[in-house]
């Protein structure tokens, strides 16, 4: 029935002020107001339609993305949107595009690694989109091992230029988003060679395509790497391949904040750590953590609403069957994900603060917190993206068969999100970085150095003080266990930031109580999952473990009547969710039925191909049957 809210009874059960929770989720009243305004702007504009995305062939899909990106830019300028509003617009348009890499990596790379003079030259062009850039680091042969990159940038003192070259097939740049078909420029990572000496990997601004006719410049071979996983999804992006054949660029196009090459060909390093060349990755990892809660909450919103609509078994005296959300098994799969969405929201806020703090310290030449910032961004990126990708898939299963339909919104959401476990650092490779940081900390505790920040707790673990460890010895052999330790460390950060959030003043009737329940679900479900470890190490007795499980079940019951309101607080429009199962009004069945008839296969009653391939079979069967 149109216009009826099938979830109205569920909404009436809420024991807290949903509007106040919306503010907590958005971060502030101001953020909520901007979100509401921009979300409506996008939803009301047919140019941002996306319900046909999974059905479009690649070329059409890609052209459509180009159209949307150009239109979004036009609207940003017409409406004079601020950076914050433009970024919200990109969020609600909800289509991965070359612009993500231009704004998200190309510009930050120039800002972070370019000198003031370089920034003055390149940033105004990039801000006006008079040049479009990408981040060309990964090669066919190496992604994780950045120091293994093979592209060379050889200084030619006669012409005061670098010669950028791809010496092998495996040195071809491979994967950069926006590179395949759109970017005019790339921040390209290459080994700096001066006078035969290899100075390691550095960033260079290289023009790839003509600003007149968009054709590749001499010496450049460039194209798209082909279709990726899923329909629609990440195929709106032109991930590219790029080869250089002795391409010359002026010396001043090496990004020279961290190290410089003089006119005479002298290599000089600033006082800043060379790891700042990796700074763009730290920035983007932080952004990815902030985004994880958005993707997870979206899937959880769909699965929660549908679980309240869907009924199976349990009818008494001809009454309605049981809502599947009332099954404890459904709750034990769904509610920890709901709790994780909130937990990731708060840890994302904290990480943004940490990143800003580190950047301010770097400005003042204080590099002391850089290793911790690297460990936190790498570890939390790994944890939150893994849980989110697995969580989206779990939400699909929680929706039963209908979750497998593209109209549920979940298959595309999974396909577009799952590469986050790989890009910006493979999740295991990143956890190994955290493990290395933890082992270094243990070795420093042994020398009497007190750990601070997110590792302060290690100083309170008695037996660690007696440990003497060499970071390398046994590291590879024990790396699988060390990765588990790294995950546990990151989970501890998430839990402690959730608890810190609860210590703040949180207005709104019942809001804090709901967040306390979610926080409990978050840590108790982790405790439940890893109870074997806790029991084996005697951190818990079997009795405590059983009590914790009782408490977890009690919290599921506490959250149950509030579940719909807790996902309403994410404040997602139907346009943004793009899911029949997750509709705000819960009017699922008529809309599923209606959508099926819109599928291109149903445009004709007899399908194309029937006469060639089906009818001959049927005729043959008829003949056999007569025999």
Ligand X SMILES: Cc1cc2nc3c(=O)[nH]c(=O)nc-3n(C[C@H](O)[C@H](O)[C@H](O)COP(=O)(O)OP(=O)(O)OC[C@H]3O[C@@H](n4cnc5c(N)ncnc54)[C@H](O)[C@@H]3O)c2cc1C
Q: Check binding of 104 to ligand X (CB under 6 A).
A: no
> Counting contacts by CB under 6 A, is residue 287 touching ligand LAWDYWNQ?
yes
- Please tell me whether residue 295 binds ligand X under the rule CB under 6 A: no
Residue from 193, 359, 428, 485 in contact with ligand X (CB under 6 A): 428
Q: Which of 423, 495, 496, 506 binds ligand X (CB under 6 A)?
A: 423
Q: Report what 485 binds from ligand X, ligand LAWDYWNQ, none; CB cut-off 5-8 Å by kind.
A: none
From the list ligand X, ligand LAWDYWNQ, none, pick the one residue 282 interacts with, judged by a Cβ distance below 5 to 8 Å according to partner type.
Answer: ligand LAWDYWNQ
Q: Is 516 a catalytic residue?
A: no
DSSP state of 467: -
What are the DSSP E strand ranges found in 116-257? 133-136, 152-156, 161-165, 173-174, 185-194, 197-207, 220-224, 240-244, 247-250
What is the DSSP code string of 381-435? HHHHHHHHHHHHHHHHHHTGGGGGSGGGSHHHHHHHHGGGGTTTS-HHHHHHHHH
Binding mask 409-438 for ligand LAWDYWNQ (x = CB under 6 A): --------------xxx---x---x--x--
Q: Which of residues 107-126 bind ligand LAWDYWNQ (CB under 6 A)?
A: none
Q: Which one of the spans 280-288, 512-520, 571-579, 586-594 is the region binding ligand LAWDYWNQ (CB under 6 A)?
A: 280-288
Q: Least distance to ligand X from the beta carbon of 478, Å?
A: 12
Best CA proximity match to 65, nearest among 105, 21, 34, 101: 101
How crowded is the C-beta side of 612, counted as CA atoms within 13 Å? Answer: 3
Binding mask 377-416 for ligand X (x = CB under 6 A): ----------------------------------------
Both structure tokens of 138? 């990964």
Non-local (6+) Cβ contacts of 621 within 8 A are none
Site string (112-151) toward ligand X, x via CB under 6 A? -----------------------xxxx---xxx-------
Helix (H) or strand (E) holding 380: helix 370-398
Site string for ligand LAWDYWNQ, 171-200 (x = CB under 6 A): ------x-----------------------
User: What are 119's two structure tokens?
Assistant: 């920034």
Distances (CA, A) of 106 to 95, 99, 189, 362, 410: 19, 10, 12, 20, 30
Side-chain half-sphere of 467: how many Cα atoms within 13 Å? 18
Assigned token pair, 448: 């009497």
| Helix, strand or coil, per DSSP, at residue 250 | strand
| Shortest distance (Å) from residue 183 CB to ligand X | 10
Q: Is-contact 11 565, C-beta < 8 A? A: yes
Between CA 598 and CA 129 the distance in angstroms is 38
Contacts to ligand LAWDYWNQ by CB under 6 A: 72, 86-87, 90, 99-100, 103-104, 135, 137-138, 143-144, 146-147, 177, 275, 278, 281-282, 284, 287-288, 370-371, 374, 423-425, 429, 433, 436
Enzyme catalytic residues: 424
Residues lying near ligand X in the complex (CB under 6 A) are found at: 101, 135-138, 142-144, 175-177, 234, 239, 419, 422-423, 425-426, 428-429, 432
């Amino acid at each position: 029935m149109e216009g009826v809210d099938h979830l109205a009874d569920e909404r009436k059960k809420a024991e807290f002020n949903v509007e106040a929770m919306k503010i907590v989720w958005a971060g502030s009243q101001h953020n909520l107001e901007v979100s509401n305004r921009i979300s409506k702007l996008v939803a009301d504009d047919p140019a941002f339609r996306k319900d046909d995305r999974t059905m479009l062939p690649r070329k059409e899909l890609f052209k459509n993305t180009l159209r949307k990106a150009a239109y979004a830019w036009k609207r940003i300028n017409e409406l004079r949107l601020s950076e914050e509003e433009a970024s919200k617009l990109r969020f609600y348009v909800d289509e991965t595009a070359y612009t993500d890499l231009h704004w998200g990596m190309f510009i930050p790379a120039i800002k972070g690694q370019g000198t003031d003079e370089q920034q003055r030259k390149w940033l105004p062009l990039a801000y006006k989109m008079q040049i479009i850039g990408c981040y060309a680091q990964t090669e066919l042969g190496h992604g994780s091992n950045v120091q293994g990159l093979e592209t060379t940038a050889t200084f030619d003192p006669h012409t005061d230029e670098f010669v950028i070259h791809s010496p092998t097939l495996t040195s071809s740049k491979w994967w950069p988003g926006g590179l395949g078909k759109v970017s005019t420029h790339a921040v390209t990572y290459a080994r700096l060679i001066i006078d035969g000496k290899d100075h390691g990997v550095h960033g260079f601004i290289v023009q790839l395509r003509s600003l007149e006719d968009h054709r590749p410049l001499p010496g450049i071979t460039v194209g798209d790497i082909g279709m990726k996983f899923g329909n629609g999804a990440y195929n709106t992006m032109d991930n590219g391949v790029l080869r250089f054949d002795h391409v010359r660029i002026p010396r001043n196009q090496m990004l020279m904040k961290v190290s410089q090459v003089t006119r005479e060909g002298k290599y000089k390093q600033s006082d800043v750590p060379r790891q700042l060349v990796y700074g763009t990755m730290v920035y983007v990892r932080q952004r990815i953590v902030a985004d994880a809660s958005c993707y997870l909450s979206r899937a959880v919103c769909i699965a929660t609403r549908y679980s309240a609509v869907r009924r199976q078994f349990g009818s008494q005296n001809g009454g309605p069957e049981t809502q599947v959300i009332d099954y404890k098994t459904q709750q034990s799969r769904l509610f920890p994900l709901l709790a994780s969405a909130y937990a990731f929201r708060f840890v994302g806020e904290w990480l943004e603060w940490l990143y800003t703090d580190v950047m301010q310290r770097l400005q003042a030449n204080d590099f002391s917190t850089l290793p911790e910032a690297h460990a936190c961004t790498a570890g939390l990126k790994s944890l939150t993206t893994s849980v989110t990708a697995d969580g989206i898939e779990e939400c699909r299963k929680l929706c039963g068969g209908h979750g497998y339909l593209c109209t549920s919104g979940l298959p595309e959401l999974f396909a577009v999100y799952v590469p986050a476990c790989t890009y910006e650092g493979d999740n295991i490779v990143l956890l190994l970085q955290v493990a290395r940081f933890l082992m270094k900390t243990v070795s420093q505790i042994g020398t009497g150095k007190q750990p601070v920040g997110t590792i302060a707790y290690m100083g309170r673990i008695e037996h660690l003080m007696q440990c003497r460890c060499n970071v390398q010895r046994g590291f590879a052999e024990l790396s699988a266990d060390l990765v588990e330790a790294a995950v546990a460390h990151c989970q501890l950060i998430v839990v402690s930031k959730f608890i810190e959030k609860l210590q703040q003043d949180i207005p709104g009737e019942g809001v804090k109580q709901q967040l306390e329940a979610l926080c409990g679900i978050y840590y108790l479900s982790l405790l439940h999952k890893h109870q074997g470890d806790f029991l084996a190490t005697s951190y818990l007795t079997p009795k405590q473990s059983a009590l914790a499980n009782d408490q977890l079940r009690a919290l599921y019951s506490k959250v149950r009547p509030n579940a719909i309101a807790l996902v309403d607080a994410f404040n997602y429009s139907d346009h943004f969710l793009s899911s029949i199962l997750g509709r705000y009004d819960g009017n699922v069945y008529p809309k599923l039925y209606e959508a099926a008839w819109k599928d291109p296969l149903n445009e004709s009653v007899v399908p194309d191909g029937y006469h060639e391939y089906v009818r001959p079979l049927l005729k043959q069967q008829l003949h056999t049957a007569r025999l």
